[in-house]
Amino acid sequence: MNTELEGKVAIVTGAAGGFGRELVRGLLGAGAKVAALDIDAGRLAELAGVHADEAGTGRLLTRRMDIASYAECEAAVAHTREKLGGLHILVNNGALGMGIIRMDHMARLVEIHEITPETWDRFVAVNLSGAWYMTRAAIDGLLAQGWGRVINVTTSFFTMLRGKFHPYSPPKAGLEAMAAGHAKEFAGTGVTVNVVVPGGPADTPMVPEESGIDRAAMVPPSAMVPPVLWLCSETGGTWTGHRFIAGNWDASAEPAAAAAGCRAPIGWEELAGSPVWPGGKPPA
């Protein structure tokens, strides 16, 4: 077992899904203790079974919760600290996919009249507010210890701006902007905030068989693990406010070189430099 993250405690939301399972595996393999959070109790039980040894020794904690509730997020963070002895890493991975509306959403795109206000509200609550709730619940402890990693899983800019891909894409764009803002807010504190994306369709249940895409050509969910582990390392801690495209990670290169090869600007920094502002520039 790699022990680079020994002594660290991580939370992964959406831990029982495609990316989540791989991230839990990778973090455990790197020596971290992991709190795996998900709304699906059955899949969490399966995850605990896969990692029975770690669950038995107290290195894996599973908890059924809904990130759309701030009270549940706060309770999950407190429970993690109590049972695992702290918190250092937060991976905001939990999200709803477009399959909630219908499974052929990629072959036959979704129009606005198919989206109810209740569905819209649920997507915003889970895919945007959930990450803010988890960050808000965790941040005081991360700042107090002067060490923390917040990693948000957003999506490609193409998906964010794609027509007929609501209500998935707008909250993901908001999450990207939130990550950029938090990176600036926490700069110099020892807490970094970055984004990791697959870079294209990934071989997870969020891209159903009805999509018609060749699954062998998709980004494997395991591709998310190397950039996340690197960002959690001491070397990766020198970077904040960036996005890392997992599908471009070169596994044959040294980790720092691989990270440089898949690093890209977060959000829309190139558009933010020249606001029309009274007196010149806004306060930092």
Closest by CA position to 204, among listed 98, 133, 276: 98
Averaged pLDDT, 58-77: 98
Residue 1 confidence class, pLDDT cut points 50, 70, 90? low
Cα 73 from Cα 222, distance rounded (Å): 26
In this model, does residue 270 exceed pLDDT 70? yes
Q: Which amino acid, 5?
A: L
Mean pLDDT of the chain: 95
What is the pLDDT at residue 159? 94
Cβ atoms of 235 and 256 within 8 Å: the answer is yes
Statement: residue 200 has pLDDT above 90 = no
Both tokens of residue 156?
A: 């490609």
Q: What is the per-residue pLDDT for 213?
A: 86
Compare 99 and 280 and report the one with higher pLDDT. Answer: 99
User: Which segments of 154-261 are extended strands (E)?
Assistant: 191-197, 242-245
pLDDT at 69: 98
Task: Report which of residues 139 and 3 the model is more confident about.
Answer: 139
**Nearest-angstrom CA–CA distance, 73 and 132:** 10
Q: Give the pLDDT band of residue 185 (cuts 50, 70, 90).
A: very high
Q: To the nearest 10°, the Cα dihedral for 92, 6, 258, 219?
A: -50
| pLDDT greater than 80 at residue 277 | yes
- What would the 3-class secondary structure string for 51-69 be? CHHHHHCCCEEEEECCCCC
pLDDT for 273: 81
Task: State phi, psi for 32 to the nearest 5 degrees.
Answer: -75, 155
Tens digits of residue pLDDT in 11-48? 999 999 999 999 999 999 999 999 999 999 999 999 99
Tell me which residue of 269, 231, 13 sits closest to 127, measured CA to CA: 13
**Mean pLDDT for the stretch of residues 59-63:** 98
**In this predicted structure, what is the pLDDT of residue 269?**
87
Percent with pLDDT over 70 in the chain: 100
Q: Three-state SS for 255?
A: helix
pLDDT greater than 80 at residue 82: yes
Cα 152 → chain centroid: 4
Check residue 283 and give its pLDDT: 81
The per-residue pLDDT for 284 is 73
The mean per-residue pLDDT over the stretch 167-180 comes to 97
pTM attached to this predicted model: 0.95
pLDDT digit string (tens) for 111-135? Answer: 999 999 999 999 999 999 999 999 9
Mean pLDDT confidence for 76-96: 98
Q: Which of 243, 203, 195 is nearest to 219 (CA)?
A: 203
Q: In whole angstroms, give the CA distance from residue 280 to residue 205.
A: 48
Per-residue pLDDT, 5: 97
Tokens, residue 79 = 């429970």
CA distance 90 to 194: 11
Residue 68 pLDDT level (bands cut at 50, 70, 90): very high
pLDDT at 204: 84
Average pLDDT over residues 216-227: 93
Mean local confidence (pLDDT), 238-263: 97
